[in-house]
Amino acid sequence: MILHLNYSFPKELKIRKSSQYEEIFRKSNRLRSRHFDILYVQNSLGYSRTGIVVSKKNVRSAVKRNRIKRVVREVFRNNKSLFDSLDVVFLAKKGCEDLNYSNAKREIQDNIRSILS
C-alpha cells in the first residue's frame, strides 16, 4: 500500500484492535512527556500508525476525553511524514484536559524528533 503525502486519515493508519494495542504495550519503548506517555515500536508496514488512550481515571469528562483524542489525531494527521514507520500510542496523563493544538503539536513533535534522532 502506497500512501501519498496527503492529509487524510484512513483506517489503515489507526491502531484499532485490542490485539494490536497489546502487542505494542508488550514490545514498545516508552517516552514520557508532560502530558503524554508515548509508546512506540518500529513496524514493517512502511507507514506509521497511531492509537490514543485517554482513560476515564485521568480525564473524567467524556467531552474532554474526546477533545484530547481529536487534537492528538489532528497532530498525527498533519505530521504523518515525521513519524517514519512507527506504531505510536499516546497515553494521556492527568492534567492534559486543557491542552490546545499548538502546545500538543510542539510537545509531540519534539518527542518524536528525539525518538528518531
* CATH code: domain of residue 74: 3.30.230.10
Residue 64 covered by a domain: yes
pLDDT, tens digit only, all 117 positions of the chain: 555 556 677 888 899 999 999 999 999 899 999 999 999 999 888 888 999 999 999 999 999 999 999 999 999 988 888 888 889 999 999 989 888 999 999 999 998 888 877
Residue 8 covered by a domain: no
- The CA-based angle 7-9-10, given to 5 degrees, is 130
Strand arrangement of the beta sheet that strand 49-53 belongs to: 29-32, 36-42, 86-92, 49-53
Residue 2 covered by a domain: no
Full domain range(s) for residue 69: 13-116
Dist. CA 36–CA 44, nearest whole Å? 25
Query: Grid coordinates standing for 14?
Result: 489507526
Residue 102 covered by a domain: yes
User: For the chain, what is the domain count?
Assistant: 1
Give the amino acid at 51.
G
For residue 114, what is the DSSP state? Answer: H
Dist. CA 37–CA 44, nearest whole Å? 23
Dist. CA 14–CA 17, nearest whole Å? 9
